[in-house]
Structure 1
Amino acid sequence: MDDLPHEAGKMRELTDFQLVQSEGGSTSTLAFSGPMTVSSLGLADARLRAISDSFSEIDLTGVTRMDTVGAWTVWRLSRDHDARIIGCSDEAQKLVDAISKADSNDHSVRAMRLPLFQRVPEHVGDVMLGLGRGMLQVVGFLGQIILSSASLLRHPSRFRGKALVHQMELVGVNSLAIIGLMSFLVGIVIAQQGAVQLRQFGAEIYTVNLVGRLTLRELGVLMTAIMVAGRSGSAFAAQLGTMKLTEEVDAMRTIGVAPMEALVIPRIAATMIMMPLLGFYSAFLGIIGGAFLSSLTLGIPFFTFLTRIQEVVPLHDVWVGLTKAPVFGLIVALAGCYQGMQVKNNAEEVGARTTAAVVMAIFTVIVLDAFFAVFFTNIGWG
């Protein structure tokens, strides 16, 4: 209780000032007293802005302390009233000089900007160098996966079977509903649009060929890969990125657990295992959707459509889709895990890396799908 008067006295230590006229009345001086700090200038600032009389000098002899806010207040008054500052201590004078040099009203500060013909090549070069570094990092990450896989083959007891089953559930079982609905609707769209075009030539019966070959060979596995990239690939990036941000990955290394073996390989293996199953499931529901629409609008009975599928779709189309599926699964899981393990700085980077994982996976999957189309055509599976 004895400290309260002292604290109250400190709280009452505010900036004060008065306007002093000279003996002849020709000039006036604005004299400050007390501290001029951010905590003491609150009430004085409003009164200072209300001063309408002019003054030629600002006397700081009575000022006990000054910070940057006080120096800025003195400089503003000196600039606006064209007044001279007197009685300034050495420390206060340094602050006032620094404020005066940084005053943006005296000069504009602009960053140096290169000409357009230099900026464009420089930006393109930076992008290409970034792509090159990114490719090297991806190759290095893939090398770490291969080494970790070889280590697990030598020591099978270290493989985390429960983590694999859990990831298979997240990647495969939990995505059956959305992939099934999407594939069913895509099958309806293919059948409807194909029938409209084939009707011009009286060849509506070939809608069966169109739906069957397109879903089993291309769209089934491709649309599944895109959906898994948006659903599971982004989840991998967000989960691993958050673990990196909270230093859980570093803690695993500290206790002797390899993050690649515990976090990355189960996710990649689960995606590669589930992608063929999801791709076949997607193709099957796409055919069901085409058969459903054909029975309603084309006059082709539902089971006749399914029987016709077995006759017109060659078996190698099924193998083409099943061959591409694990490769697409590897790409999706690799993109998600790689981007997640690159998170370093802040939570905003988690979102950016998650977006990059989805874009990277979808782009690579589509490029590889085009490559597979040319490859299988050249080997006679066109």
Structure 2
Amino acid sequence: MAMTVAVDFAPDPQDQRVLRFTGELTLARLGSLSDRLDQYDGAVDRIDLSGVQRIDTVGAWVVHRFAATRDAKIEGLDEDGRHLIGQVADADQPVVQKAKPLPPVMRVLDELGTATVLSFRTLLGLLGFLGATVIAAGNVIRHPRRFRFNATVQRFEVVGVSALPIVGLMSFLIGIVIAQQGAVQLRQFGAEVFTINLIGRITLRELGVLMTAIMVAGRSGSAFAAQLGTMKLTEEIDAMRTIGVSPMEALVLPRTLAAVLMMPLLGFYASMIAIIGGGLLCWATLDIPPVTYIQRLREVVPITDLYVGMIKAPVFGLIIAISGCFQGMQVESDAEQVGLRTTSAVVQAIFLVIVLDAFFAVFFERIGWI
């Protein structure tokens, strides 16, 4: 027994290029309509659905697909029918097929290439952001009234004063560790007294400033990224631009100045605390009294070691502030970006600090500050 088709179509008697549908264009009534449309070879300019009593999503999809293949216009529907056809047409997008997995070697090379391109783009963005910060500083110098003094002082407290306890504890313990490990190794050669040389030179020249920079990057650099990222997400930065306030001058410049100016002080403070920690361990385990310890430091530690640390410190502070603010200003779309950009700011700052420290080591060795 043949199945009854509740929907049918036929050319208009007056215009053969118009195809008229009648009945119900629903899933339960379509029958073999799709196959019959595929076999239809007549020319079609318009599809008239005025005789259709009901239409659902499946019926709308069948008609839309046929109209798309014939480049025909659909007409004769009420407002709900037109809305349904429009929704089906909007959903008619090519499906993006998942690419076949690459072989392991190709996948590794692809990831390396992607990471390299991303690194260069980030470096270019950092350089551009640094240039924008310099321009903002020049604008503030030309117009001193635009300088945010209260915001800068508040950043001094956050970056510097609030960091004193954790930086001091870290440096004290590092000084003890350097003294203990140095004494153990030098005792094999009967040269425990040279532990003082090790403590004085490595803390003033390298570890004091370097460990402080790592601590500030994890503490203040992440805070900069999170604060600016949250402001970007809540559109506060866009609101500042709307009322004529430069975010670079109001937000980035105070944080950058605070990091640049406080890093030398924190680095010097960390070096002194590390020397004190090392001196206490030398007093307790090597029987070197404090007076002898200080006198020996003055003899073996050249003033150039202090200069090296103080020259590196503001550069490290600049890198930390620029990285944190740059990543914070890149936040878009959702709250997850804040966490991702904060992590990127810390990793980026620490990486650049270590790279620059290696550069400074070679540079100062070449100019004779060793």
- Bin of the TM-score, shorter chain as denominator length: 0.7 to 0.9
Matched, 1:276 2:245: no
Q: CA RMSD in A?
A: 2.4
In structure 2, the residue matched to 1:111 is: 98
Counterpart code for 2:247? P
User: Aligned residue pairs: how many?
Assistant: 289
Secondary structure of the corresponding residue to residue 245 of structure 2: coil
Structure 2 alignment gaps of length 5 or more? 1-25, 28-53, 63-95
Pick aligned residue for 2:56 from 84, 87, 91? 91
Matched, 1:317 2:282: no
**How many Å separate the matches in 1 of 2:220 and 2:58?**
62
Q: Map residues 63-142 of structure 1 onto 2, 5 A cutoff.
A: 91=56, 94=59, 111-116=98-103, 118-142=106-130
Pick aligned residue for 1:375 from 360, 363, 366? 363
**How many Å separate the matches in 2 of 1:145 and 1:310?**
40
In structure 1, the residue matched to 2:289 is: 301
1:156 is displaced (CA, Å) by 1.1
**How many Å separate the matches in 2 of 1:254 and 1:303?**
62
Q: Map residues 12-27 of structure 1 onto 2, 5 A cutoff.
A: none
1:120 is displaced (CA, Å) by 4.1
In structure 2, the residue matched to 1:175 is: 163
Query: 1:225-254 CA deviation, whole Å, 9 max, x = no partner?
Result: 000000000000000000000111011111
In structure 1, the residue matched to 2:38 is: none
Counterpart code for 1:295? W
Query: 1:298-334 CA deviation, whole Å, 9 max, x = no partner?
Result: 1101232122211110010000000000000001111
In structure 2, the residue matched to 1:209 is: 197
In structure 2, the residue matched to 1:262 is: 250
Counterpart code for 2:265? L
Query: 1:125-170 CA deviation, whole Å, 9 max, x = no partner?
Result: 3322222222221111111111111111111111111111110110
Which ranges of 4 or more aligned residues in structure 1 deviate by more than 2 Å?
89-97, 109-112, 117-129
Structure 1 alignment gaps of length 5 or more? 1-64, 67-88, 98-108
1:111 is displaced (CA, Å) by 2.4
Pick aligned residue for 1:236 from 218, 224, 240? 224
In structure 2, the residue matched to 1:143 is: 131
Calculate percent identity across the aligned residue pairs: 61
Matched, 1:222 2:210: yes
In structure 2, the residue matched to 1:156 is: 144
**How many Å separate the matches in 2 of 1:159 and 1:110?**
54
Pick aligned residue for 2:320 from 326, 329, 332? 332
Matched, 1:190 2:178: yes
1:381 is displaced (CA, Å) by 0.6
